[in-house]
Every structure is written in C-alpha cells, then in structure tokens.
Amino acid sequence: MRILKIALPVLILLAAQGCVEKNKDNFDRTAMLTNLGNNIIAPAYTTLASTTLALQNQANAFIASPGVASLDSLKQSYINAYVKYQAVEIYDFTPSQYMRNSFNSFPADTNQINDNIVSGVYDLNTANNIPAKGFPALDYLLYSKTAAEVVALFATDANAAKRKQYLADIVSELNTKAAAASAGWSGDYLNTFIQASGTDVGSSTGMLVNDLSMELERNRRERVGNSLGYVGIVSGGAISPYSLEAFYAMYSKELLIENLQQMKTLYQGGTGTGFDDYLNQIGADYNGTPLATEITNQFDKTILAAQNIPVDYATALTTNKPQMETLFLEIKRLVVLVKVDMSSNLGVVINYADNDGD
C-alpha cells in the first residue's frame, strides 16, 4: 500500500507533465494515414478507374469492328489497366472490399468461361464465376490464340455474338467497380480512413498491415509458389505454368514487379510519411539493424530477384528454375519480416479474429 501511495502521485505528476510537454517521442499515425490516403491510395483508384474506362472504350470499339488493329488497341488498354490494378490489389477497405474476387482470381477457369459463352446464361456475381471473369478471363479471351484466331472467334465464329456480349459484360463489371471504388475513396471514406487512427482491430493501420501481409502472401503463394509446385497439394509438386498470373499474355513478370514496387511505395509512404518512418520512430530493431532498413532492403532484394529472371516466368520455370526458387525465398523472407516483425513491433494483430485475449 505504501508503494501505491508513492506510485500514484508519481503517475499523476507524470500525467500533468505529459499535458504540458509537447515535444515527445511519439508517432503521429493520423499524419501517416493522411499521406497514405491522399497521396497513394485514393490516386491509385483514380488511375485505375481511368484505365478501366479506356479499356471499356477499346472493348466497345473492338466489339463494333473486330480486327487485328482494334484487338491490338484493346490488348494495350488491357495491359495498362492490369498494371495499374496492381497498385490497389493490396487494399481491402470498404469502398473496394473483395475487389480481388471480381478483378483477379487466377488461374482463369476456362471451361466455365466457355460454358458461359455458349449458354449465354450466367450471373457473374455467383461464386463459381469468380475465376471466369476479370483480368484472368480477358487474358484467356484475348491471348490464348493467335491474333487472327481471336479476331475470328469474335467476328465469324458461331458464338461470336455471345462472346462479344461476354467480353462486354466482363469489362463493364471491371469499369463499374473501379469507378465505384474510386468515387468511394475520393469522397467521405478518406476521412473515415484517416480518423480510424488506432492500432486495434478495424483500425486503418491494423488493416493496412494485415492487407500488406496478405498481399505478400498472395505473391509468394499464387504469383510464384503455385507455378513452382511448392504450394498446395493439388499440383503434386509438379511445375504448373498455367497457374501464373497473365499466363496467356506472358506478362506475369511485369505484373509482379509492379505489384512489389507498389507495396514498397505504400510501405515507404512515397515521398511522405510511411511505415518505415513509423518503425524508425519507435526504434524497432532487427538484430542490430533498424527493422525499417531491413524491410526496405528486403523489398529491394525481392524486386531485384524478380527482375533478374531474363525470360517470362512460364519459360523460366523450366529454363531458370533456380532463379524462380530464389524469388520465392526472397518473397518468403519479406513475408516473415512484415507479417511477424513489423506487425509485432507496431502492436498490430495479424489474422485477427473477434475474441478475448489475456
């Protein structure tokens, strides 16, 4: 009791001192969220929406007159939108929740796509159509055959009209959802995002760290691991180029590099305040190195490993497998640093479930 009699006044004194003293060793999460929301996340959705609008215009032009030239323009706008999409796939916030399901569930279910086209009856919102729409479906529709063959499928094939309709429906969904997400982030949601400045479940910092971890895991498993046959019992350990993102367009390398770079931008807050500053401010250490530096270096190593593979990833699986394995291990290293070290140092719960703790 005597101890408490001493301790309590000390606490009260400190409280008083805390109110007077302004210059303190604290980190302003609101400032970080303001930077990330205003300068990184919201603009990424604006950009995506403009590219999906262009995609829709090019798709309409191609549908109006299918030809090699209009297909080429459509493919360009598709690649452009797919690249810009990598900047937002990380986020799973209210205005764009589950966007990944509509946009990028790969590999595409080609049987489902063909069934939908032939029957002409489908509801793109059902679960079994998740791998039959979005960018992976476009990848299959636009790239799985030579340009002339693709044009023929849309111009002269028995199901050409239905195929055109399917293309229009998929592109329309992409554009509608991208526009809605962009509008959401430009509007009130930005304030909601900035104001949820805690670290608990549902806070913006907590969700960003979780989203970052999940996206890194997705890169490790789905963008690389599945194709190597490392992950998931289904492949039985055999390589599976078909599992790659943008397999038909042979664009998985560029998309992965873009994705990693965008995550690094989020982590560093672009030119403003980001998670690296947060970690430095609280003095997070990784065996003698600042944890922030360790993570930045690991981002660079991972991006370098992705760039170092000289051919497209489908080819690399047979010609440059050791380099693909290195890439896999570098991403894994990054996953551990973000999901374990960063989250723990920030006091953020990963994989949170609604439950009591002690």
Binding residues for other proteins (CB under 8 A): 1, 3-4, 7-8, 10-11, 14-15, 17-19, 24-27, 29-30, 197-200, 221, 225, 229-233, 235-237, 282, 284-287, 291, 294, 332, 335-337, 339-341, 343-358
Using an 8 Å Cβ cutoff, are 177 and 102 in contact? yes
Residue 42 Cβ vs other proteins, minimum distance, rounded to whole Å: 22
Number of C-beta neighbours around residue 237 at 10 A = 11
**Measured from the CB of residue 25, what is the shortest distance to other proteins in angstroms?**
5
> Smallest gap, in angstroms, from Cβ of residue 1 to other proteins?
5
Q: Distance between CA 315 and CA 158 in Å, rounded?
A: 34
Residue 5 vs 64, nearer CB to other proteins: 5
Least distance from C-beta 185 to other proteins, angstroms?
Answer: 22
Residues 6 or more apart from 164 whose CB is under 8 A from it? 63, 66, 154
If the CB atoms of residues 123 and 356 are measured against other proteins, the closer one turns out to be 356
Whichever of 46 and 296 has its CB closer to other proteins, that residue is 296
Residue 273 Cα to chain centre, angstroms = 20
Q: Which CB, 81 or 346, lies closer to other proteins?
A: 346
CB of 234: closest distance to other proteins in angstroms?
9
Nearest CB to other proteins, comparing residues 26 and 271: 26
CB of 33 to other proteins, least distance (A): 11
The residue among 26 and 126 lying less far from other proteins, judged by its C-beta, is 26
User: At a CB cut-off of 8 Å and minimum separation 6, what does 79 contact?
Assistant: 249, 251
Contact 272, 221 (CB under 8 A): no
Phi/psi at 183 (5° precision)? -65, -40
Under 8 Å between Cβ of 205 and 347? no
In this complex, which beta carbon is closest to other proteins, that of residue 127 or of residue 353?
353
DSSP per-residue codes, 57-87: HHHHHHHHS--HHHHHHHHHHHHHHHHHHTT
Please give the backbone phi and psi of residue 290, each rounded to the nearest 5 degrees, phi first.
Answer: -60, 135
What is the residue type of 296?
T
C-alpha 110/C-alpha 145 separation (Å) is 13
DSSP 8-state code for residue 242: G
Q: How far is the CB of 193 from other proteins (least distance, A)?
A: 14
